[in-house]
Amino acid sequence: MTVGPAAGAPDGLPAGSAGAPDGLPADPDLPVPPGRRLDARVLLAVAGGALPGGAARYGVAQLITVPAGHFPWATFWTNVSGSFVLGFLLVLFIERYPPSRYARAFAGTGFCGAYTTFSTFSVETDVLVKDGHAPLAVAYVVASLVVGIAAAAAGIVAGRRTRRPAGAAV
């Protein structure tokens, strides 16, 4: 895998290759397709966002303690709040401000990706089932999905209700 922009392509894509529909390269979460080059600056933006995102997640886990066999509130509220933030930020980055793959990579993939946690959600669900708390595990899964999607939708609505800054793209 080659790092850095291709000759004649300022966005790091080979000349003539297509990016995302908004003119930006594909989602930074996706693997780099053959023939495309990885932009180290995007990778640094993701890593830079992951540091505060992971620290924030750790902080929430320290504030909300949950005894074994109980509803995993720390992970639940982390994922729900992260869903809201991601919905809000993506509206800002896609609809309100000039496109920036670095801002999307930093906040969306880096911060929100490190802050939210599907793996802990999965392990906690598995442990609840293994320890004989299957109804609680089902409630956790359903509540996480329903409230998480609702939080993302609320974030999108909140993002769309923000005022456009002067000079921002329409």
Domain extent at residue 30: 1-38
DSSP, collapsed to helix, strand or coil, labels residue 36 as: coil
155 lies in the same domain as 98:
yes
pTM (two decimals): 0.73
Asked if residue 84 lies in contact with residue 76, where contact means CB atoms within 8 angstroms, the answer is no
Q: Which of 13-22, 49-58, 157-166 has the highest mean pLDDT?
A: 49-58
33 lies in the same domain as 65:
no
79 lies in the same domain as 156:
yes
pLDDT range class, residue 8, cuts 50, 70, 90? very low
148 lies in the same domain as 102:
yes
Answer yes or no: is pLDDT of 86 > 80: yes
139 lies in the same domain as 64:
yes
Strands (DSSP E) found in the chain: none
Q: What is the pLDDT of residue 28?
A: 60
Tokens encoding 39: 């932009």
Per-residue pLDDT reduced to its tens digit, 45-55: 999 999 999 99
88 lies in the same domain as 68:
yes
73 lies in the same domain as 148:
yes
27 lies in the same domain as 93:
no
Tokens encoding 63: 């504030």
In a domain, 166, yes or no: no
In a domain, 143, yes or no: yes
In a domain, 170, yes or no: no
- Domain count along the chain: 2
Asked if residue 115 lies in contact with residue 78, where contact means CB atoms within 8 angstroms, the answer is yes
